[in-house]
Amino acid sequence: MSDFGMSGDELEQMYQEVILEASKHPHGRESFAPNAAEESSGEAAANTTVRATHEYCTPGESHQFNPTCGDEATVHVEVSDDEPHTIKRLVWDGHGCSISQASLSVMVDLVDGKTVDEAMHLEQVFHQLMESRGAGLQNESLEDELGDAVVFQGVSKYPMRIKCALLGWEGLKDSVAKALAAKN
Amino acid sequence: MVDFKAIRDEFPILDQEIHGHPLVYLDSAATSQKPECVIDAEANFYRTINAGVHRGAHELAARSTVAFEEARAKVAKLVGANAAEGEEEIVVTGGATAGLNLLATAFGNASLGRGEEAAKRFALKPGDEIVVSRAEHHSVLLPFQELAYRTGATFKWIDLTEDGRVRTDNLEEVITDRTKVVAVTHVGNTTGAITNVAPIIKRAHEVGAVFILDACQSVPHLKVDFHALDVDFAAWSAHKMYGPTGVGFLYGKREMLEALPPANFGGSMVELAYMDHEAQYMAPPARFEAGTQPVAQVVAAGVAAEWMMNIGMENIEAHEKTISAELLKLGDINGIRILGPRENVDRIGTVAFDVKGVHPHDVGQFIDAQGIAIRVGHHCAQPVHRHFGLYASNRASSGVYNSVADAQALVEAAKGIRPFFGAE
């Protein structure tokens, strides 16, 4: 029988310094989205959006929500109109556990300024890491590509928490797709 | 004097280590663990008398029917309901949620004109009101909110005091002459607060409304007497009272059950069925028990009810009171806020708390690493959490098998949460 829990040492392994630090001091986080904990959040959601800062960019936005714990992330991306399409601005708003918050921060550091193709490739690699059940990618060059995001390898052991780590990345994938679709 | 240490030993699951620590189970509000006698009852039913009930004439069918009806009688006794043949007030359901949906569906059917003349008392139309409280579990909130949408009735609610109790100071405002249905929880599944239901029931009856009690969190922990409370209906589940999953019970005053039209249709609930005109349905409780029943689980739930009565509900209540006293010490830890009554008065051993600066998922992971099981999330009560300005929380909840030492283990562990996560 598999053991989804952890010992004290494993707790330290999961909550690595990068994760605790990034969750306390998030990167790329701005205030623009509603909060599901509030009674009127349904109406607020229809009215919030960030204005694109680059005239030559198309914005895309995606709201991600985990109903079991209430973790929420709205990812706002601006993709350049000229090719290759590049992520010119990536910000998010939300709240949640340290894993989801840290993952969003690390994602921003990793993909902001990259081309859409590079970002989507990294999204796939990160997804693969999270599906590794703690084993990691077992591929050094892929792990190098992920940079700080490899610290989430410990999280991939815990099925209940994988969703937390993927929340922001799902938002990235969706918002980029929306931005690209809006160009046509 | 009850030996609670010996009672704990009747629960085989508790005798194990989790992550190198002895298991401390403090999640009984989600589901209780099962004593050996309940586990055996379910298995032995399959080993010895398994057969369909209320049908067939062979010996096993007769024995299983007797066992099923005896279980109904034991459950009835636990909550002060009638069980004599023709007077039964306990309906077997698939759980508390199924029981509450059964009621909402039956009221909806009555609103469409189904049922006998007596069913009209359950009929709703635009202008009528359904009242719940903000403390409700989603399984009360949603079936009755949907019923309001279906019938055009107005959906209203009684709000909570600052510490999460159902208010009783404005009942005349909320429950009016137009109110037809009032559904309120007996004990808040997040706050652990025991609702002062007497004035609410009195007010509901004053205006001629039907009163429904969610008894999920009271029946396992308190001595409950539905006749004394004068509730019209009550629903609860077996799995929170040391019985199996997949079954629950719906109490209804006999006259209410007789007036209520059926909600689920099929085998074993109909006297006469025709092709060219409407069927004639059986008397309660059979009218509400369509299809093959979870007989083994009902029999085991009956054993659970008997087991609880043997310990004595007053003894269980007094024992758990010592645990809630200890759990409430969580509120003394810097940065931890109790969501619900902070005094150990009119509450059970269900204590929800918020750890400032640390998300419940992280709290749960940290606590679990020390072998302690608590619930994290919104506990299927989102409006209650909004009342406290939160989306989710952490909840420890006691059972008869817990000791004061269990609660102390949690309080000790909880002291380490904020330092570990560096919460400011």
Catalytically active residues of B are 380
Asked if B359's CB is within 8 angstroms of A39's CB, the reply is no
B19 and B117 belong to one structural domain: no
- Answer whether B400's CB lies under 8 Å from B2's CB: no
The CATH number assigned to the domain holding B165 equals: 3.40.640.10
B303 and B390 belong to one structural domain: no
- pLDDT at position B177: 98
B78 belongs to a structural domain: yes
B262 and B326 belong to one structural domain: no
- pLDDT at position A54: 77
DSSP state of B283: P
Locate the chain B residue with the closest alpha carbon to A95.
B359
A117 belongs to a structural domain: yes
- pLDDT at position B296: 98
Mean pLDDT to the nearest integer, B5-28: 97
* Domain of residue B66, residue span: 43-309
Q: How confident is the model at residue A36 (pLDDT cuts 50, 70, 90)?
A: low
Encode B90-125: b = buried (16+ Cβ within 10 Å), e = exposed. bbbbbbbbbbbbbbbbbbbbbbeebbeeebebbbbe
For residue B400, the SS3 value is coil
B26 and B53 belong to one structural domain: no
- Tokens at residue B378, please? 């919104």
A128 belongs to a structural domain: yes
CA B192/CA B163 separation, integer angstroms: 11
B113 and B169 belong to one structural domain: yes
- ipTM for this model: 0.83
- pLDDT at position A52: 74
B249 beta partners: B92, B236
- pLDDT at position B208: 98
- pLDDT at position A7: 56
Q: Tell me, what amino acid is at B361?
A: H
E strands along A39-122, which residues? 57-66, 71-80, 87-95
CA A100/CA A161 separation, integer angstroms: 9
- pLDDT at position A4: 41
- Tokens at residue B102, please? 């059964």
Q: What is the pLDDT of residues B250-295, one digit of tens each?
A: 999 999 999 999 999 999 999 999 999 999 999 999 999 999 999 9
B211 and B351 belong to one structural domain: no
Domain total in chain A: 1
Q: What is the pLDDT of residues A130-152, one digit of tens each?
A: 999 999 999 999 999 999 999 99
| Residue from the list A3, A98, A158 with its beta carbon closest to the beta carbon of B359 | A98
B36 belongs to a structural domain: no
- pLDDT at position B155: 98
Residue B377 has pLDDT above 60, yes or no: yes
Closest CA to A11 of B21, B357, B332, B355: B21
A14 belongs to a structural domain: yes
Residue A6 has pLDDT above 60, yes or no: no
B170 and B266 belong to one structural domain: yes
β-pairing, B210-214 vs B233-237, is parallel
**Percent of chain A that is helix, strand, coil (3-state, to 5):** 50, 15, 30
B235 and B123 belong to one structural domain: yes
pLDDT winner (highest mean) among A47-61, A62-76, A153-167, B130-144:
B130-144
Domain total in chain B: 2
B218 and B340 belong to one structural domain: no
B24 and B52 belong to one structural domain: no
Q: In sequence order, what are the residues at sequence separation of 6 or more whose Cβ sits closer than 8 angstroms to the Cβ of residue B62?
A: none
The C-alpha of B392 sits at a distance from chain A's nearest C-alpha, in angstroms, of 6
The CATH number assigned to the domain holding A148 equals: 3.90.1010.10
CA B113/CA B79 separation, integer angstroms: 32
B260 and B407 belong to one structural domain: no
**Range 362-421 of B in CB contact (< 8 A) with A:** 362, 365-366, 368-370, 376-378, 383, 385-386, 389-392, 420-421
CA B35/CA B11 separation, integer angstroms: 5
Residue A41 has pLDDT above 80, yes or no: no
- Boundary (domain end) residue, out of B263, B288, B309: B309
B391 belongs to a structural domain: yes
- Boundary (domain end) residue, out of B262, B281, B309: B309
The CATH number assigned to the domain holding B367 equals: 3.90.1150.10
Q: Tell me, what amino acid is at B150?
A: R
Q: Tell me, what amino acid is at B50?
A: N
B179 and B271 belong to one structural domain: yes
The C-alpha of B366 sits at a distance from chain A's nearest C-alpha, in angstroms, of 7
Asked if B365's CB is within 8 angstroms of A11's CB, the reply is yes
CA B95/CA B80 separation, integer angstroms: 19
- Answer whether A178's CB lies under 8 Å from A62's CB: yes
- Answer whether B104's CB lies under 8 Å from B143's CB: yes
pTM over 0.90: yes
Mean pLDDT to the nearest integer, B4-23: 97
Asked if A164's CB is within 8 angstroms of B361's CB, the reply is yes
Closest CA to B383 of B212, B234, B200, B190: B190
B240 belongs to a structural domain: yes
- pLDDT at position A68: 83
- Boundary (domain end) residue, out of B279, B309, B339: B309
